[in-house]
Amino acid sequence: MQIVHTLADLRRALNPAALRAFVPTMGNLHQGHLELMQMARQEVDKRTPTGGMTVASIFVNRLQFGPNEDFDTYPRTLENDCALLEANGCDVVFAPSEKDLYPEPQVFKVHPPAELADILEGAFRPGFFVGVSTVVHKLFNIVQPDLAMFGKKDYQQLMVIRRMVQQMALPIEIIGGETRRAEDGLALSSRNGYLSTEERAEAVQLSMALKGLAASVRAGNAADQLDVPAAEAAAMDALRQRGWEPDYITLRRQHDLSPVNGPCVEPLVVLGAAKLGKTRLIDNLEV
Ligand code: PAF
């Protein structure tokens, strides 16, 4: 496995003829990332028996962090991440410095549509999806992958990226990986490392709240009596009573994340974001 930092070195490391699968990350990798890496390896090997190429990037992208967020404290664990990537089928790690990726202020940006990017995460983290779309578009231009893998844990991010690729006619197939969970059901996240022992024990309650909401949705749909605002409010209240500060716990349509007002037969998803102490966690569950 090669580890490169500059765009010039990456271009030298890429085999122009090989089918290329890409896993963009911000590092501090967990099992969810490693499964995306394994999936990238399997996909290229399946599609090109002569051997494709897998690339991962590790870059903590300042553009997607708000002024009061954790950019400075976000864990940087390059050496360990590279060892894990190598063990999981990665050929090339691209780990640029800020000067390599943003040699001058990034004034050209990708602005995803408000109806997709200013809701949910975008409403609570203004500018987040501009930062994500800009860096992902730039990384796509640099790596020029045929396939790219993103986790479903960041459900809205995956949707924004799919839409960007479709609208910009980027010749890249986007593959979503299932959310990997700890034994108690907590979705794996690089930010789980911020939790104290007590908070870690409590953290599973976010996925429990989503499961509870999903169960009320199924029951309400079956009985043709779904009161969505009441079910969402009950899930948020249950978390508040346990000391959480929920930003949203909500039921949406899978295909465009639009709200649902009553019984609905379309594929749905429940999504939630809430703060436990100083740590903000997100999760979702397809219904
Ligand atoms: O999901 C992430 O880790 C980041 O948002 C991404 C896609 C690597 C862009 O910085």
Helices 228-241 and 205-222 pack at an angle, to 10 degrees, of 160
Strand partners, 72: none
- CB-based contact 21:100 (threshold 8 Å): no
- CB-based contact 170:44 (threshold 8 Å): no
Burial class (CB in 10 A: 0-12, 13-18, 19+), 256: exposed
Percent over 90 (pLDDT), the chain: 95
Per annotation, catalytic residue among 30, 33, 111, 137:
33
**Confidence tier at 106 by pLDDT (50, 70, 90):** very high
- CB-based contact 254:266 (threshold 8 Å): yes
pLDDT per residue as tens digits for the range 150-198: 999 999 999 999 999 999 999 999 999 999 999 999 999 999 999 999 9
Distance of CA 283 to the CA centre of its chain: 10
- The whole-angstrom separation of Cα 217 and Cα 66 is 33
State the closest ligand 1 atom to the C-alpha of 60, by its place in the atom list counted from 1. 10
- Whether the model clears a pTM of 0.95, i.e. scores above it, the answer is yes
Q: What is the mean pLDDT of residues 216-225?
A: 91
Q: What is the DSSP string of 268-284?
A: EEEEEEEEETTEEEEEE
CA of 116 to the centre of ligand 1 (A): 17
Distance of CA 169 to the CA centre of its chain: 21
Catalytic site includes residue 5: no
Which domains, ranges and CATH numbers included, belong to the chain? Answer: 2-177 (3.40.50.620), 190-286 (3.30.1300.10)
DSSP label at 50? T
Which pLDDT does position 143 carry in this prediction? 98
CA of 26 to the centre of ligand 1 (A): 6
Count how many residues are written for the chain.
287
